[in-house]
Amino acid sequence: MACLTKLKQDIKLLERAFPKESDRSFRILSASVDEINCVFIDESGGKHRINANITETYPQSPPIWFSEDEDQNISSTIESISETTSNNYGIINQVKILIQELCTVHHIPLPDSLGMLGGPVLEKEPVGVKPHESSDEDDDEDFMAMEDDTHHESKFKENVDGIDTENIVILEKLKQNQRKDYLQGSVSGSVLATDRLMKELRDIYRSDSYKKGIYSVDLVNDSLYEWSIKLRKVDPDSTLHGDLESYKEKMGRDHILLNFTYKDNFPCEPPFVRVVTPVLQGGYVLGGGAICMELLTRQGWSSAYNMESVILQIAATLVKGKARIQFGAPKNQYSLARAQQSFKSLVQIHEKNGWFTPPKEDG
């Protein structure tokens, strides 16, 4: 909370120092706790849009800078900002370094308003500074402070809003790719689907079931619209659980691999889900790997369903249907085309005849 308050104060200071209506060489066009958009005007009047994404790990990591144009000087400057030391990760110091280097490269005087940010103009790294010969007491104090900082940083990395650092990096990469696609005019998917899928992924990364290793999620080719789900744990009293133990011993694999694909109209329509490996008998798994579940059809789907619930319901359905692993089955028995065809036939049958509702004692 303290970091967020400080960030908001710093953003307000930047907006006062470099308002978008000014005639200065550097201006803040818009700013929020997630993103800062600014423009630099060079000596010939050329305008260069520069943006910064403030990550969820800020200020333990610096903002991520990028630019819309292909000016080499701008690119080099942005690259140099990423080489700063941790004491310059704050947005105020980042902007100071950005302005200083841009003005130096383009031979433009530093704007007077730079002084509003306080402190001296910064450099990327200290240059020509003689190392300080500290006393033993100073060394002890520095060591203790370093231990405190390291402990704080490690705790921070363990859990940021319930999401570990590795998954935060994935979320940030997705956001960067989305912005890049937008700037290049090659946007895929829809705003509604993308926003919802990002939310679903964040919720999964926070969930206890995910953290306990019941299942895992990987993005196919870094695409938010295609997930590989590794279902690792099922009811320990089920025959499928025993088969998974044997599968691990014989094949070195400890999971059932599911593939989820989403369309632009998600969550208005369900994802298409299929089993990839291993080949299963029973468990309501159809030819090609499609799964016979009403909630995976338009008729039974609700946009209110969250993806973790869907994943866990699939696991329960496999167990309820007494799924067994077919050891020795042909590897090419499951395919996307066959799964789509069998699922299409399934939907047509149930649209005509309805769905069977089992007795309550059967779940």
Residues identified as active-site? 292
Q: What is the DSSP string of 275-316?
A: EEES-EESTTB-GGGBB--GGGSTTT--TT--HHHHHHHHHH
Q: What is the Cα–Cα distance from 25 to 98, expressed in whole angstroms?
A: 12
273's enclosing H/E stretch is strand 272-277
DSSP secondary structure code for residue 114 in this structure: G
Strand partners, 273: 260
Query: 């231990």: which residue's tokens?
Result: 147
DSSP structural state of residue 331? G
Nearest Cα neighbor of 64 from 81, 49, 77 is: 81
List Cβ<8 Å contacts ≥24 apart for 88-92.
88/62, 88/122, 88/124, 89/58, 89/59, 89/60, 89/61, 89/62, 90/10, 90/59, 91/7, 91/10, 91/11, 91/14, 91/36, 91/52, 91/54, 91/58, 91/63, 92/10, 92/13, 92/14, 92/117, 92/118
Long-range Cβ contact pairs of 341-344 (< 8 A, separation 24 or more): 341/288, 342/286, 342/287, 342/288, 342/290, 343/272, 343/274, 343/286, 343/288, 343/290, 343/291
Please tell me whether residue 40 adopts helix, strand or coil conformation. strand
Residue 141 backbone dihedrals phi, psi, to 5 degrees: -65, -40
Nearest to 89 by CA among 156, 150, 169, 3: 3
